[in-house]
Chains A and B, each alone.
Chain A
């Protein structure tokens, strides 16, 4: 019965030519227009990874810490962020005032632990408003530490093997010593790490305007798709068709779930068309993580469908839902960076943008387009699901009361 309601909605919308133009043709056209209009400005500043400041607290002071800061952070990653060395207190003051997005804390005994082949954990602290930059820092630091750990493992294996076969490890004998083995291997592995990180970042260092607006318009028009569903539901309420459904074997829960599933299926079909069109006609690169992309898109659709359910529960007429929905979707889109990147908005708007599902979805798509993995977009997915649950909860409660 739930599927019957949902599939009927899909059939109804598929026969509505105006809806199809709004939901499929409009986003394709607007993406093209915005992509072309902002193309030049994007290549100058728009969505390149902009250099941002980070603070480093060195509690160790040893050679390994120095190598990590000077060779890795300051020198090799200068194109990603600027590094400022500070005391712990200074660093956290800078973080709280958002003068740096992230603080990297090198623990005490870092050098000794590394030299002895033991693990050591570098802490990453970030401001809640700077998740994007923080994820980037975490990603490169984790890469560095993993390779360092591999270096240690390799060196230890080399030493153990030498000892087993009584190979001399003393430099006085004209060979090399254990410490030297470790350092040599570490240098080699670290070089590989940098090469990997650099090439990976370089490959996806900027996204094109058509890529950006394909994601932005996908989110905006998914919300319009859901709004269309909400409007259909209210029209059915106005013509008492929804009431008639309740005189059949369906109860309120069946009806609400059927409508929600209908919204979800409509938006999923719409997303599929828009994503494939952008991929094969505009050549949009949606990222390398298919799982991450699918999860993010489904979370966005879930949140959008729940938003539609909420909207239909608070609107008395289809005209009211249309009016309110249009305003909210456009405000969400602007705040969420759907028209111009959020970084170009005034600070107070940037703070408000976190309240919109567009912003979280957009952050996720941008992360994926920069080549990041599933783990990076999990916060976005989580917030979108949470928003969906909240919208759905309020919507269902209000509908039950009605």
Chain B
């Protein structure tokens, strides 16, 4: 059953269309991933769902409630983890959580209990009395998430919650998200990290230039590039001319080059690999490593847009 319905939603800022006539539905208890490069319109869409900005057109229903007319009821259902660390650095973790709890209408003993629970979820119970500005980036992110859980929302919306953190904190966050989802919480998780979306999400929307360009389960999306391989070659030097030559080779679909990494989408790596290597050698490009990977969401995005997620 659809818990969140997004119907023909758009948002325009003058001539710029940040969200372009998007429609999709999210089921109750689903862990929905929204994947797209920076600037794709993910955060704008999240801001519209959480009632922070008004859409230029369209309608959003959360549990059958229109977010335009039933704003306060919808707010009780939603919990937002913003992309930025929306905490007060000079207050302690406990004080921050108590503040946000009060903003969600909690008080007294219930507030104390919820703060304690939230600190446990964040794995930072022993740091309750420490100021946020003494925390590492990862710990701040964990408290940022905990603050959205105080009122036990039915839907948790997480906007790039792992930007700029250490692997340990990232793992903790991903595990927490999985656990919350297993307990029945509907989660919308946006990221430009393909691995996180692939790891977590049961249903995925790929967004680019304000539009949903593909949507489905991981398997459904991979089928879009079935029988395709990705050849990844790490180079120590670059040569734009040779990239154009490779692009024209038979069986090469798409090619991207970012920070020394050459990614080539191909229908058959075996037939084209030798030609690619000799072309690179002729152009005096030095090859460090070569990997052949099965298709993934990155290759889906590359296939659909001709660009890499990090472009």
Contact = CB atoms under 8 A, between A and B. Distances in A.
A398 to B, nearest CB: 17
A16 interface: yes
B85 A249 contact: no
B84 A239 contact: yes
The contact size tier of chain A is 20 to 34
Contacts of A239: 84-86
The contact size tier of chain B is 20 to 34
Interface stretch (A63-71, A194-202, A240-248, A358-366): A240-248
A279 interface: no
A48 to B, nearest CB: 47
Interface stretch (B72-80, B162-170, B270-278): B72-80
A11 B86 contact: no
A15 B89 CA distance: 10
A14 B47 CA distance: 32
B80 A247 contact: yes
Interface in B86-106: 86-88, 90-91, 95, 99-100, 102-105
B36 to A, nearest CB: 19
A45 interface: no
A276 interface: no
B56 interface: no
Contacts of A339: none
Contact of A241 (B76, B87, B95, B102): B87
Contacts of B21: none
A244 B97 CA distance: 13
A5 B50 CA distance: 20
A245 B82 CA distance: 11
A12 B50 CA distance: 27
A366 B97 CA distance: 47
Nearest to B157: A247
A249 B103 contact: yes
Given A12-B90, A239-B86, A244 B105 contact: no
B50 A247 contact: yes
A250 B102 CA distance: 10
B129 to A, nearest CB: 13
Contacts of A251: 71-72
Contacts of A16: 90
B241 interface: no
Nearest to A258: B103
A272 B22 CA distance: 55
Contacts of A1: 102-103, 105
Nearest to B51: A247
Contacts of B99: 4, 8
Nearest to A9: B88
Contact of B83 (A240, A248, A250): A240
Contacts of A241: 84, 86-88
A241 B80 CA distance: 11
Contact of B91 (A5, A15, A249): A15
Contacts of A240: 82-84, 86
A50 B106 CA distance: 61
A251 B74 CA distance: 13
B1 interface: no
A5 B88 CA distance: 12
A246 B78 CA distance: 12
Contacts of B105: 1, 249
B51 A8 contact: no
Contact of A246 (B52, B76, B91): B52
A290 to B, nearest CB: 35
Contacts of B47: 243
Contact of B86 (A8, A12, A15, A243): A243
Contacts of B84: 239-241
Nearest to A16: B90
B104 A248 contact: yes
B297 to A, nearest CB: 27
A316 to B, nearest CB: 15
A241 B147 CA distance: 12
Given A1-B103, A16-B90, A249 B82 contact: no
21 contacts: A1-B102, A1-B105, A5-B103, A8-B91, A8-B99, A11-B91, A12-B90, A12-B91, A15-B90, A16-B90, A239-B84, A241-B84, A241-B86, A244-B100, A244-B147, A245-B103, A247-B50, A247-B51, A248-B100, A249-B103, A249-B105
Interface of A: 1, 4-5, 8, 11-12, 15-16, 239-241, 243-251
- Pairs of residues from A and B, 8 with the lowest C-beta to C-beta distance, nearest first: A248-B103, A244-B86, A241-B86, A15-B90, A240-B84, A4-B102, A247-B80, A240-B82
